[in-house]
Amino acid sequence: MISNDPDEFAQAPGAVGDMVGYLSQLVAAKRARPGDDLISDFTIAGDGGNGFTEVEILAIAFALLVAGYETSSNLVCNGTLALLEHPAQLAKLRGQPALIGPAVEEMKRYDGPSTSVVWRFPTEDVEVAGVAIPSGDPVLPLISAANRDPAAFADPDGFDIERTHLDHVSFGYGPHFCVGAALGRLEGSIALPALLARFPNLSLDAPRNELRFRGAFMTRGLFGLPVRW
């Protein structure tokens, strides 16, 4: 569904159909036997015609899976890799656990779980950095590029968990700001300290050039992160 490989584009509609089919079965199962979970809550709220429609429940479940799970798992994985590649920063975080807040923000800036936002279409002719963009032309803003902008960040390619003025755009901006930003920050601030506490001798167990990132549209994550502890 999110591959950026042109050879796989033709498979995307079928993959979306498969996911919708799976989620439809999940919603039906939760409606028949509700549990203590979010999807059950949505189906209950939709009963009686006064709450969510079936299409809305499917859309929410789809968004939770892609925007909620995919991004959070990538944040933990990419953030762990950044720490393992910068031992001084890792040692600093171990010695000062209170730095986890700014550390998560720096992880999202340095190698965040999302590379771009969805397509934008200007409603009138505009010019950006000397480039003319006609009305209606598609524009794909790149989060990763903006977060490495030397005009916005000192030493943009460096990884510093004590960096100040961290006005990154990993959660979007303005009316498009991510509705799940608080949850994403919370997940990172819980998962990463727990990982470091559980594995005090964690280290990378593969050459950096052998790590493979998935070719994906809008998201950035590894196929796997080999470690030893």
Residues classed as catalytic: 67, 70, 72, 178, 187
Task: Note every long-range contact of 29-37, with CB atoms under 8 Å and residues 24 or more positions apart, other chains counting.
Answer: none
Which residues lie closer than 8 Å to 39 by C-beta, 6 or more apart? 26, 27, 30, 57, 61
Phi/psi for 227 (5° steps) reads -135, 165
| H helix count then E strand count, the chain | 8, 4
Tokens, residue 58: 């499917």
Q: Are strands 126-128 and 131-133 parallel, antiparallel or unpaired?
A: antiparallel
